[in-house]
Structure 1
C-alpha cells in the first residue's frame, strides 16, 4: 500500500507538468497532421495502394514518422523532466524525510516515467485510429473496408515500447545525477543524433541503445539484424536501472 501511495504521489506531480503537456502534444501531432491531410485531399486509408492490408501499411507509415524523431526526442525530454521534478522544486530533502524507503522513492519515480510513456502510446494509438476512421466516415460513410489487424497492432506497439526502455533507463540515471536539466538532455540528444549517424554508416550501430526505435522502422527485412534488439533493449534497461539504483543509494548528497 505504501508503494501505491508513493506511485500515486509521483504521478500527481506529473499532472499539468511540462512532461504531461509534451506527452499529449507529441502523441497527437502526427494523427492530427494525417487527419488534416486526408480531409484536404478528400481521401481515406482505403486510397492507400499496396499488396498488404491497408491498416498495416498505414500503421507502419505513421509509426515510422513517429519512431524516427518525435518518440526518441519525447522520451528523452519527458524522462528527464519527470526525474528532475524534485531538483526544480528543491524538494529532495523534504521527500527524503517522508516515511518511504529509498527503494520505494526510486521505483515510484521510474515507474511514473514508464507510465508516462504508456500514456503517450495510448494517446497516439487512439489518434491513429481516429485519423483513419474520421475521414472514412466523412467521405465513404463507413469504416475502412480492410480487416483490422489487431495482433499486428499490438505487436508493433510492444516492440517499439521495448525499444524505448534503454533510453528511459539512461535518461533516468543521468537526471538523478545532475541537477542541471541541460546536461541529461544534452547527453541524450547527442547520443540520439550520434546513433542516427551510425545507423546509416556503421554495421554495428545496434550497439547504441538509442538506435533501437529507429532500427525497427528503417531496417531491411531481407537483411535482418545479426542480434536480437529486444534482448539488447532489455539488457541495457536492466543494466541502466541497476547502475542508477546503486548510484542513487550511494550518493551522499541527495538534495
Structure 2
C-alpha cells in the first residue's frame, strides 16, 4: 500500500509540473551551454583546437567550466519552483487534505526533485556529446572523429549529480520552510561565492558543500581520467543529503501551521 501511495504521489507531482515553466526549464536549461559551444566550435573550432589538446578535450573544458558555475543556480531554482507552487497558490491545506500522508507528499516531491536534477545532467552529457558529432559533420578535419568514451562522460555527470545532492537537499528544505524566495537564493549565492574564495588556499575547502560537484568532476576526454578518483566529495554529499532530507521529513511530519 505504501508503494502504491507513493506511486500516486509521484504521478500527481509529475502531472502538476507537466504544463508549467519547471518542466520546460528542466528540459531546455541543459541545452544552454551545448548550444553556445556548438556555435563557438562551428565558427572558431580550428582556432580553439590550435591552442593545444584534442578536439574532445577542448569541448569538455568549454563545457565543464561554465557548467560547474551555473549548475548550482539551476539546482537552487528547481528547488524553489518545486516547493513554491503550493505556497504561491496557498494550496498546502488542500494537499494535506488528500488521502496521502504528509510523509508520502514529502517523499514524492523529494524524488521528483532528485529525478529532475538527474535527467538534466544526463541530458547535458548527451547534448555535449552530440555537439562533438555535429561539429564533426560540419568540419571532419577538426578531430572529433577520434575515439571518445561516452560512458565516461555520462559517468562523470552521474558523480556530479550525486555530489550536488548535498547542497541540493539544503535548498529543498529551505524552500519548504520559507515562502521568501530571496532567502534561499541569497544563501545559495553566498555558498557558491564563499567556496570560490576558500578553494584558493584553505585546506578544508573540500568539506564545503557548495563545492562537492566541482571537486568530484574529473578531466573527461583525457588519458588521466578515472571515474573513481574523486569520490570523497560524493560520499560527503550523500551523507549530508541523507541527514538533511531526514530532518526535512521529520519537520514535515511535525509541522502544524501550513
Specify the alignment match of 2:34 in structure 1.
31
Call closer, same or farther: CA 1:34–1:57 in 2, change over 3 Å: closer
Call closer, same or farther: CA 1:112–1:227 in 2, change over 3 Å: closer
Specify the alignment match of 2:66 in structure 1.
65
What does 1:4-15 correspond to in 2, within 5 Å?
4-15=7-18
Work out whether residues 122 and 158 of structure 2, in 8 Å CA contact, stay in contact via their aligned partners in 1.
no
Specify the alignment match of 1:240 in structure 2.
244
Call closer, same or farther: CA 1:160–1:15 in 2, change over 3 Å: same
What does 1:1-255 correspond to in 2, within 5 Å?
1-41=4-44, 43=46, 49-50=52-53, 54-55=55-56, 58-67=59-68, 69-140=69-140, 144-217=144-217, 228-253=232-257, 255=258
Please give the secondary structure, in 1, of the residue aligned with 2:210: coil
Call closer, same or farther: CA 1:44–1:107 in 2, change over 3 Å: farther
Structure 1 distance, partners of 2:230, 2:59, is: 28
Give per-residue Cα distances to partners, 1:167-216, cap 9 Å, x unaligned: 22101111111122222222222222222221123111122211112233
Ranges in structure 2 where 5+ consecutive residues have no aligned partner:
none
* RMSD of aligned alpha carbons: 2.8
Q: What's the TM-score, normalizing by structure 2?
A: 0.85
Please give the secondary structure, in 2, of the residue aligned with 1:203: coil
Structure 1 distance, partners of 2:78, 2:116, is: 8
Work out whether residues 45 and 144 of structure 1, in 8 Å CA contact, stay in contact via their aligned partners in 2.
no
Work out whether residues 44 and 135 of structure 1, in 8 Å CA contact, stay in contact via their aligned partners in 2.
no
Call closer, same or farther: CA 1:157–1:218 in 2, change over 3 Å: closer
Moved over 6 A (4+): 44-48
Structure 2 distance, partners of 1:197, 1:143, is: 36
Aligned length: 247
Question: Displacement of 1:217 after TM fit?
Answer: 4.6
Question: Displacement of 1:232 after TM fit?
Answer: 0.5
Call closer, same or farther: CA 1:143–1:204 in 2, change over 3 Å: closer
Question: Displacement of 1:64 after TM fit?
Answer: 2.7
Deviation larger for 195-204 or 146-155:
146-155
